[in-house]
Amino acid sequence: MTVRVRFAPSPTGSLHVGNALTAVANRRFADERGGVLVLRIDDTDPARVVEGGEEAILEDLAWLGVAFDEGPVRQSERGELYAEAATRALESGGAVRDEDGAVRLGQTTLLRADGSTTYQLASVVDDLDLAITHVIRGSDHRPNHELHRRIARAVGGELPEVIHHGLVLGEDGKKLSKRHGHSSIAELREEGLPAGAVRAYLDELGLPEHDVHLDLARLRRLAIDAISAMSDEELAAAAGAPVEAAPALRGARSLVEAREYARLVLSPEPAELPDDAGPTLERFVELRGGAPERLTTDEARAIVRELKAVGGDLRALRLALTGAATGPELAAILAALSRDEALVRAARA
Ligand code: GLU
């Protein structure tokens, strides 16, 4: 039997880290078993439908490298299926119709008075209809499990196997929310964490049995690893810089920092130099002028060493070349700038 799993977010916007963990875990579960992942959009509850929410989720999944094999299947387009299931539940499953027209199974509403479907019914009907073999979701849904089993029987089916995983909580142990920052995939992306680092972090968490605390220090470590694993081309592209600038981007700890380094190297702001910067810059012009058009990092380091040996003001040189007092390693800046560009900047300063 082919393993079929589903990831079923409500379209509320960019995925929370915990939801992204569910997506990654479902993808991995399917991949390890030659199975299929269905993307289902749970949009029956108007309060949980946000304009652009589905697009944001699709963007997050693409960014994380989580592909799906079927879908998106939207619950809002499957009302007929749910109505049929409700009829079965009324005929032979022990459901009752209220005076106002709502259909209930015990305390639980399956269809509202206006005929719209609740998440409880829609989720169960879809898991049966889409032939889902394993439901993998956060443990916040554990309380639904028994109820879903009863609904499945009422509509004439058996619930698939259900696996609940621990939630990702904030570093303070509370439910992740906007207040924490770093809580959604969009926020992590904007912070400059490479997709590979976030994906590696979620893969590392796997299917946690108990709740875990978001470990930002670990994420940042993985970001540094992911950046050092990138080729010059990848890193430059991620920072929006030409590949020649790559040496200066190497030490960046995030892609936001890499973009900032790229800006320093590509379009520096003019800076105020100390009065006695002259001799350092003159010596630099001599050394750089006598070296090749492009420097290896070793050649660049040799120039920095010589300048230092004669008591050169390295901070002044950095200011002259980048307009800023801090940034990438000085040798990396030299390796990223052509000879002409470096000499022009030194002369202008
Ligand atoms: N739409 C539900 C959620 O986002 C899905 C729960 C489930 O996987 O059944 O929490």
- Which residues form the pocket of ligand 1, taking CB atoms under 6 Å from any ligand atom? 8-10, 42, 123, 137, 141
The whole-number pLDDT of residue 257 equals 97
- Looking at the predicted structure, is the pLDDT value of residue 179 above 80? no
Ligand 1 atom having least distance to the Cα of 141: 6
Model confidence at 176, in pLDDT bands (50, 70, 90)? confident
SS3 letters across 296-315: CHHHHHHHHHHHHHCCCCHH
Model confidence at 172, in pLDDT bands (50, 70, 90)? confident
Buried b (16+ CB within 10 A) or exposed e, 95-112: beeeeeebbbbeebbbbe
The model's pLDDT over 142-170, given as tens digits with 9 standing for 90+, comes to: 999 999 999 999 999 999 999 999 999 98
Q: CATH top-level class for 178-241?
A: mainly alpha
Q: Dmax over Cα atoms in the chain, in whole Å? A: 94
Domain ranges of the chain: 4-168, 178-241, 245-348
Q: If you average pLDDT over residues 297-306, what whole number do you get?
A: 96
Stronger pLDDT, 177 or 32, i.e. the higher one: 32
For ligand 1, atom 4: residue with the closest CA: 9
Ligand 1 atom having least distance to the Cα of 137: 8
- Looking at the predicted structure, is the pLDDT value of residue 181 above 80? no
* Contact (CB, 8 A) for 245 and 294: no
- Looking at the predicted structure, is the pLDDT value of residue 211 above 90? yes
Ligand 1 atom having least distance to the Cα of 7: 8
The whole-number pLDDT of residue 175 equals 82
Nearest to 242 by CA among 338, 323, 329: 338
63: left (phi over 0), alpha (psi -120 to 50) or beta: alpha
Q: Write the DSSP symbol of residue 72.
A: E
Radius of gyration, CA atoms only, the chain: 29
Q: Distance, CA 158 to ligand 1 centroid (Å)?
A: 18
For a mutational test of ligand 1's pocket, the pick from 5, 14, 16, 42, i.e. the residue with the most ligand atoms closer than 8 A to its C-beta, is 42
Nearest to 155 by CA among 99, 91, 68: 91
CB within 8 Å of 47: residues ≥ 6 apart:
none
| CATH architecture of the domain covering 4-168 | 3-Layer(aba) Sandwich (3.40)
Ligand 1 atom having least distance to the Cα of 136: 8
How many whole angstroms separate alpha carbon 66 and alpha carbon 234?
20
Q: Distance, CA 120 to ligand 1 centroid (Å)?
A: 10
Q: Distance, CA 173 to ligand 1 centroid (Å)?
A: 22
DSSP sequence for 90-137: HHHS--EE-TTS-EEETTEEEE-TTSPBPHHHHHHHHHHHTT-SEEEE
Model confidence at 111, in pLDDT bands (50, 70, 90)? very high
The whole-number pLDDT of residue 47 equals 86
How large a percentage of the chain has pLDDT more than 70?
100
Task: Pick the range with the lowest mean pLDDT from 180-189, 275-284, 299-308.
Answer: 180-189
The whole-number pLDDT of residue 84 equals 97
> CATH topology for 245-348?
Arc Repressor Mutant, subunit A (1.10.10)
The whole-number pLDDT of residue 302 equals 97
Mean pLDDT, rounded, of the chain: 95
Query: Do the domains at 4-168 and 178-241 have one common CATH topology?
Result: no
* Contact (CB, 8 A) for 37 and 26: yes
- Looking at the predicted structure, is the pLDDT value of residue 177 above 80? no
The model's pLDDT over 23-78, given as tens digits with 9 standing for 90+, comes to: 999 999 999 999 999 999 999 988 888 999 999 999 999 999 999 999 999 999 99
Neighbours of 183 (CB within 10 A): 21
- Looking at the predicted structure, is the pLDDT value of residue 180 above 80? no
Q: Distance, CA 101 to ligand 1 centroid (Å)?
A: 26
Q: If you average pLDDT over residues 211-222, what whole number do you get?
A: 96
The whole-number pLDDT of residue 344 equals 95
